[in-house]
C-alpha cells in the first residue's frame, strides 16, 4: 500500500516519542496560558492547580475543563493569550443566542492548522500534480480556509469555489480536471446526483478522492458518494474552537480518523462525571491544543461522543484514531453542515413576537438535509388568509436565515395545534436517525 505522508517524521513517530513531545509541549503551554489568560488562570486557581504541578501528560487530568459556555462568557477577547496585533485571522462558530464563539489565530497558528489539512490531503493521495476543488464555505466557517491552506501547502492547483452554485462547480470540475473534491458529504452527494442528472457517468470526471467532513455521515452514504463520483471518500474532523478541519483525518484504511497527536492531546471522559475513561471506551471527546499561541484551548469539551483506538494502523501512522462522532452530549444539530441549536430558533421566535411553541423537523432526502419548523401563531394573530400567512412565513424565514446561516422552511400553524408535553417538550424530530445518523 502506498505510504502517503506529508510530515512522515511526525506522522510515524513512535508512541513513546509522541508522548514525550506532548509532555514537553504541555508544560510550556500550561505556563503560557496561566500567564496570559486571566479567565483560565482563575479556573486553575479555583481548582488549586499551579503550572508547576503539571510535569507531563500524566498530570493533564489535574487541569480544569473548558466548555463552550466559558468561551461565550469570555467573548470576544477573554481567552486571547497574545497581543491582538500578533493575530492575523478570526473564525467563528454560529452562536446559540446570537453570541458567537470567536477564535483567533496568529500566523504560527494558521501554519500549524494548514499543515494538519495538508496531512489530510496527502493521506487521501494528494500531491502537487492534483487539482483540488474546495467547495466548503469560505468565510467565518473554517472549512474553506482550512482545506484551501492545506491544498496550497501540498502544492495542488487550488480551485477556491466555496459552497453553492452547483452548475459552476460542475463546469470547473470538468473543464479544469479537478482530482480532489473537498466539501461536506451531503454537498458531495448532491454534486454526484447533479452530475448524473446532467448525463455524466462517474468515469467522465477526473476526480480520484474526496475529503468530506463537518457533519455526520454514514458508511452507506460513503459508498453512494464513492460510486456516484467514482472516487475514494475520506472523512475529516475538526472544530472551530480548536483550529478547524484537519485535527483528525482518515488514511487509506478508511477506518477511523488519526488525530494529529503532535499538536493535540485527546481524552475521552464520562460526560456526566468528567471522569477520564480508558482508551476504547465510549465517551465525550476532550482536546488540549499543544501549540496554539492566540487561542490555546486546554481540555476543551467537544460534546462529541466517540471511541479512541490505539490499534496499529497498516498506513504506518502511529497517531491514535477516533471513530466518527457517534452522537452529541448536548442538543446541537448539524443541518447541511451548519451547527444549529434549538435555543437559536427560540431566540428568533421571541424576537419576532411569537410564543416559543414550535417543532423542528429534520430529515435527509436524496442525501440532502431537509429542515422544517412548525411555529404556532398566537390567538390574536391567527388568521386563515393564505397571503398574510405566506408573507409572515417569509419574514420569519429571513430572520431565521440571518441567525442560523441556513434557510428553514417555516410553517405557521394554528394556535394550540402543536402537541403539549407533560415532561420535556419535544422540540426536535430528527428523522435522520432512521438512517443511522445520530447527530
Ligand atoms: O465543522 C470544522 C470542519 C470543517 C470539519 C470542514 C471538517 C471539515 P464547526 O463548524 O465548529 O467546525 O463544527 C464542529 O462539527 O464538534 C462535530 O460535532 C461536527 N463534525 C466535524 N467534523 C465531523 C465529521 C467544523 N467528520 C462540529 N463527522 C464538531 C461528524 C463532524 N461530525
CA of 237 to the centre of ligand 1 (A): 5
| Torsion sign, CA atoms 31, 37, 40, 46 | positive
Contacts of 110 (CB under 8 A, 6+ apart): 88, 89, 149
Question: Hunting for cell 443541518 — which residue is that?
Answer: 335
283 in ligand 1 pocket by Cβ < 6 Å? no
What was the pLDDT predicted at 423? 54
CA of 100 to the centre of ligand 1 (A): 16
Nearest-atom number in ligand 1 for the CA of 141 is: 10
Note the pTM of the prediction, 2 decimals: 0.87
What was the pLDDT predicted at 195? 95
- Whether residue 1 is predicted with pLDDT greater than 50 in this model: the reply is no
What was the pLDDT predicted at 362? 94
The string of pLDDT tens digits covering residues 245-285 is 999 999 999 999 999 999 999 999 999 999 999 999 999 99
- Whether residue 394 is predicted with pLDDT greater than 70 in this model: the reply is yes
Other beta carbons less than 10 A from residue 388's beta carbon: 12
| Better pLDDT: 216 or 123 | 123
Q: What mean pLDDT, rounded, does the chain reach?
A: 92
Ranking 69-83, 85-99, 108-122 by mean pLDDT, the lowest is 85-99
Closest-CA residue, ligand 1 atom 1, reads 214
Question: Hunting for cell 472544530 — which residue is that?
Answer: 239
The string of pLDDT tens digits covering residues 299-356 is 999 999 999 999 999 999 999 999 998 878 888 889 988 888 887 888 898 889 887 7
Show the DSSP H helices in 180-218 as ranges.
185-197
What was the pLDDT predicted at 439? 59
284 in ligand 1 pocket by Cβ < 6 Å? no
What was the pLDDT predicted at 413? 93
What was the pLDDT predicted at 73? 92
The string of pLDDT tens digits covering residues 137-196 is 999 999 999 999 999 999 999 999 999 899 999 999 999 999 999 999 888 988 998 999
**7 phi and psi angles, rounded to 5 deg:** -130, 75
CA of 241 to the centre of ligand 1 (A): 11
What was the pLDDT predicted at 96? 55
| Torsion sign, CA atoms 365, 367, 368, 374 | positive
What was the pLDDT predicted at 295? 98
How, if at all, do strands 209-213 and 321-322 pair? unpaired
| Better pLDDT: 310 or 215 | 310
Ranking 39-43, 173-177, 319-323, 420-424 by mean pLDDT, the lowest is 420-424
- Whether residue 98 is predicted with pLDDT greater than 70 in this model: the reply is no
Question: How far, in Å, CA of 314 to CA of 126, rounded?
Answer: 19
What was the pLDDT predicted at 94? 65
**Percent of the chain predicted with pLDDT > 70:** 96
Tell me the C-alpha to C-alpha distance, in Å, between residue 149 and each of 155, 180, 264. Answer: 10, 14, 19
Beta strands in 307-390 (DSSP E): 308-309, 321-322, 327-328, 333-335, 338-340, 358-365, 368-376
Question: How far, in Å, CA of 146 to CA of 71, rounded?
Answer: 21
CA of 238 to the centre of ligand 1 (A): 5
Instruction: Answer yes or no: are the C-beta atoms of 73 and 95 closer than 8 Å.
Output: no
Task: With CA atoms as reference, report the closest residue to 71 among 246, 242, 290.
Answer: 242
Question: How far, in Å, CA of 199 to CA of 201, rounded?
Answer: 7
3-state SS assignment for residue 365: strand
The string of pLDDT tens digits covering residues 330-341 is 888 899 888 888
250 in ligand 1 pocket by Cβ < 6 Å? no
What was the pLDDT predicted at 306? 94
Residue 183, beta-bridge partner list: 212
Contacts of 309 (CB under 8 A, 6+ apart): 256, 279, 280, 320, 321, 322, 323
Question: How far, in Å, CA of 286 to CA of 113, rounded?
Answer: 18
**Percent of the chain predicted with pLDDT > 90:** 76
Nearest-atom number in ligand 1 for the CA of 237 is: 22
Question: Hunting for cell 478508511 — which residue is that?
Answer: 254
Amino acid at each position: 500500500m502506498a505510504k502517503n505522508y506529508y510530515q512522515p517524521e511526525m506522522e510515524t513517530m513512535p508512541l513513546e516519542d509522541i508522548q514525550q513531545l506532548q509532555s514537553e509541549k504541555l508544560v510550556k503551554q500550561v505556563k503560557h496560558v496561566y500567564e496570559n489568560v486571566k479567565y483560565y488562570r482563575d479556573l486553575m486557581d479555583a481548582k488549586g492547580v499551579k503550572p508547576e504541578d503539571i510535569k507531563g501528560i500524566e498530570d493533564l487530568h489535574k487541569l480544569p475543563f473548558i466548555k463552550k459556555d466559558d468561551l461565550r462568557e469570555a467573548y470576544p477577547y477573554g481567552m486571547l493569550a497574545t497581543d491582538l496585533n500578533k493575530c492575523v485571522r478570526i473564525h467563528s462558530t454560529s452562536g446559540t443566542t446570537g453570541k458567537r464563539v470567536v477564535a483567533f489565530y496568529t500566523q504560527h497558528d494558521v501554519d500549524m492548522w494548514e499543515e494538519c489539512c495538508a496531512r489530510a490531503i496527502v493521506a487521501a493521495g494528494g500531491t502537487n500534480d492534483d487539482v483540488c476543488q474546495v467547495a466548503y464555505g469560505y468565510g467565518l466557517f473554517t472549512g474553506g480556509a482550512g482545506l484551501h491552506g492545506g491544498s496550497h501547502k501540498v502544492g495542488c492547483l487550488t480551485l477556491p469555489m466555496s459552497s453553492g452554485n452547483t452548475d459552476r462547480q460542475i463546469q470547473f470540475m470538468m473543464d479544469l480536471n479537478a482530482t480532489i473534491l473537498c466539501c461536506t458529504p451531503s454537498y458531495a452527494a448532491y454534486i454526484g446526483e447533479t452530475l448524473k442528472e446532467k448525463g455524466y457517468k462517474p468515469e467522465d470526471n477526473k476526480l480520484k478522492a474526496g475529503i468530506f467532513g463537518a457533519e455526520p455521515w454514514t458508511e452507506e452514504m460513503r459508498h453512494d458518494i464513492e460510486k456516484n463520483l467514482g472516487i475514494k471518500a475520506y472523512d475529516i474532523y475538526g472544530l472551530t474552537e480548536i483550529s478547524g478541519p484537519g485535527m483528525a483525518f482518515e488514511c487509506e484504511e478508511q477506518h477511523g480518523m488519526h488525530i494529529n497527536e503532535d499538536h493535540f492531546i485527546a481524552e475521552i471522559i464520562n460526560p456526566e462525571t468528567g471522569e477520564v475513561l480508558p482508551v476504547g471506551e465510549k465517551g465525550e471527546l476532550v482536546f488540549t491544543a499543544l501549540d496554539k499561541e492566540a487561542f490555546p484551548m486546554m481540555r476543551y469539551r467537544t460534546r462529541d461522543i466517540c471511541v479512541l483506538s490505539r490499534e496499529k494502523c497498516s498506513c504506518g501512522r502511529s497517531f491514535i484514531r477516533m471513530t466518527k462522532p457517534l452522537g452529541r452530549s448536548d442538543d446541537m444539530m448539524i443541518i447541511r453542515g451548519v451547527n444549529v441549536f434549538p435555543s437559536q430558533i427560540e431566540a428568533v421566535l421571541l424576537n419576532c413576537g411569537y410564543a416559543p411553541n414550535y417543532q423542528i423537523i429534520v430529515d435527509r432526502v436524496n442525501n440532502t438535509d431537509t429542515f422544517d419548523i412548525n411555529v404556532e401563531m398566537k390567538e390574536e394573530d391567527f388568521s386563515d388568509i393564505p397571503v398574510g400567512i405566506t408573507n409572515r412565513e417569509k419574514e420569519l424565514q429571513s430572520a431565521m436565515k440571518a441567525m442560523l446561516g441556513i434557510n428553514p422552511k417555516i410553517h405557521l400553524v394554528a394556535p394550540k395545534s402543536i402537541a403539549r408535553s407533560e415532561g420535556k417538550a419535544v422540540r426536535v424530530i430528527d428523522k435522520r436517525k432512521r438512517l443511522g445518523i445520530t447527530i
